[in-house]
């Protein structure tokens, strides 16, 4: 079994990006800039944003975090996004989710210029991705995709099963694999026989938030299994895949932690650099 070392692959990607930033600086006399907006004091968001900031600095991006209390008015946030949209030194804007209830998430997403939308959440980017045009691609599925491609460069004709249909992961992941000529099934909570669907799959991407849902007898021998889940349980953080047993049947499997997580962050940096380059073309 191949343990897909997301930490290592992400470190390699960051090193490539670091070199690219140096080249871009020579070429344009500017460096790509990432601004993260963090609202409220939710612990996981604080941790993620700190990791994003650290990684951005590591590859030499200009990085900034704008923090607001959870009580901030929606208008203040939207006005700030407008200001960031107009600021030429900023290539990418990310508003960390989830947001407090009184702030309209969709309004926030749609206020970010599509060309600066490093999350790939803007309807313009969602549409472009599904139409097969150039777009920002959400960081988590992009990271999963790069890991899958490392294991299997030719995905044509493979059967891929997404567990979960979120805008954050399942749907964009399906689009990426469809582009690679996979036959894609998106499953969800109303799917009749999830185990049977999984048993057909050459590739499984689990992103539902149910601890250790995917068991060994759900997985075809030699399948590639990507575990997006991060679930707090009594025995610590576990994924959506029963790691120990599935590792005995799968061809390749991502660990939790150390799989998808580091790749998500590296892909955010990649998206920031892509936005910068597109703005120069």
Q: Give the residue with the Cβ less far from ligand GUN, 140 or 272.
A: 140
- Which of the residues are catalytic? 52, 96, 119
Helices 139-151 and 6-28: angle between axes, nearest 10 degrees: 110
Least CB distance to ligand GUN at residue 117 (A): 10
Does 117 engage in binding with ligand GUN (CB under 6 A)? no
The answer to the question of residue 42 lying near ligand GUN (CB under 6 A) is no
Between residues 109 and 177, which has the closer beta carbon with respect to ligand GUN? 109
The nearest distance, CB 168 to ligand GUN, in angstroms, is 6
- Residue 215 vs residues 11, 74, 85, 244: alpha-carbon distances, Å: 30, 43, 46, 9
Q: Residue 36 CB, nearest distance to ligand GUN (Å)?
A: 8
Based on the shown chain and the rule CB under 6 A, indicate whether residue 94 belongs to the binding site for ligand GUN: yes
186 in contact with ligand GUN (CB under 6 A) = no
Cis peptide bond upstream of 280, omega within 30: no
CA dihedral in degrees (184, 189, 192, 196; nearest 10)? 50
> Should residue 208 be labelled a site residue for ligand GUN when binding is judged by CB under 6 A?
no
Side by side, the strands of the sheet bearing 92-95 are 62-68, 33-39, 92-95
Q: What is the CA radius of gyration of the chain?
A: 19
Separation between Cα atoms, residue 233 and residue 1, nearest integer Å: 26
Phi and psi at residue 106, in whole multiples of 5°? -65, -40
In contact, 230 and 202? CB cutoff 8 Å: no
d(CA 123, CA 135): 11
Number of residues engaging ligand GUN in binding (CB under 6 A): 7
Reading the block at residue 62, the tokens are 């200009």
Q: How far is the CB of 96 from ligand GUN (least distance, A)?
A: 5
Does position 166 interact with ligand GUN (CB under 6 A)? The reply is: no
Q: Rounded to a whole number, what is the distance in angstroms from the first to the last CA of the chain?
A: 43
**Residue choice 96, 166, 175, 247 for contact with ligand GUN (CB under 6 A):** 96
Minimum CB distance to ligand GUN, residue 44 (Å): 8
User: Please, which residue, 95 or 266, has the CB nearer to ligand GUN?
Assistant: 95
Which CB, 91 or 140, lies closer to ligand GUN?
Answer: 140
Residues in region 138-157 near ligand GUN by CB under 6 A: 139-140
The piece of 59-67, 89-97, 152-160, 235-243 that touches ligand GUN (CB under 6 A) is: 89-97
- Rounded least distance, CB 244 to ligand GUN, Å: 27
Is the Cβ–Cβ distance between 240 and 26 less than 8 Å? no
| Helices and strands, counts by H and E, the chain | 10, 11
- Binding to ligand GUN by residue 225, rule CB under 6 A? no
Using CB under 6 A, which of 65, 97, 199, 210 touches ligand GUN?
97
Nearest residue to ligand GUN by CB is 97
Residues that bind ligand GUN (CB under 6 A): 94-97, 119, 139-140
């Amino acid at each position: 079994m191949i343990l897909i070392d997301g930490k290592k692959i992400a470190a390699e990607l960051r090193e490539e990006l670091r070199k690219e930033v140096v080249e871009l600086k020579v070429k344009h006399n500017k460096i790509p800039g990432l601004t993260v907006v963090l609202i409220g004091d939710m612990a996981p968001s604080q941790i993620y944003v700190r990791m994003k900031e650290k990684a951005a600095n590591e590859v030499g991006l200009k990085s900034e975090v704008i923090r607001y209390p959870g009580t901030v008015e929606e208008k203040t946030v939207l006005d700030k996004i407008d200001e960031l949209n107009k600021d030429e030194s900023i290539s990418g804007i990310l508003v960390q989710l989830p947001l407090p209830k009184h702030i309209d998430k969709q309004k926030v997403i749609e206020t970010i210029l599509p060309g600066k939308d490093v999350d790939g959440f803007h309807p313009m980017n969602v549409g472009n991705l599904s139409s097969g045009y150039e777009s920002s691609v959400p960081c988590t599925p992009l990271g999963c995709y790069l890991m899958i491609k490392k294991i299997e460069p030719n995905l044509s004709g493979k059967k891929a099963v997404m567990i979960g249909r979120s805008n954050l992961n399942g749907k964009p992941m399906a689009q990426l694999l469809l582009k690679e000529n996979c036959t894609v099934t998106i499953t969800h909570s109303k799917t009749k026989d999830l185990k049977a669907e999984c048993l057909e799959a050459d590739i499984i991407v689990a992103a539902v938030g149910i601890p250790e849902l995917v068991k060994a007898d759900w997985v075809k021998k030699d399948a590639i299994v990507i575990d997006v889940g991060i679930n707090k349980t009594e025995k610590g953080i576990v994924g959506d895949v029963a790691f120990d047993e599935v590792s005995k049947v799968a061809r390749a499997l991502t660990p939790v932690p150390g799989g998808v997580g580091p790749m998500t962050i590296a892909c955010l940096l990649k998206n920031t650099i892509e936005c910068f380059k597109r703005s120069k073309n």
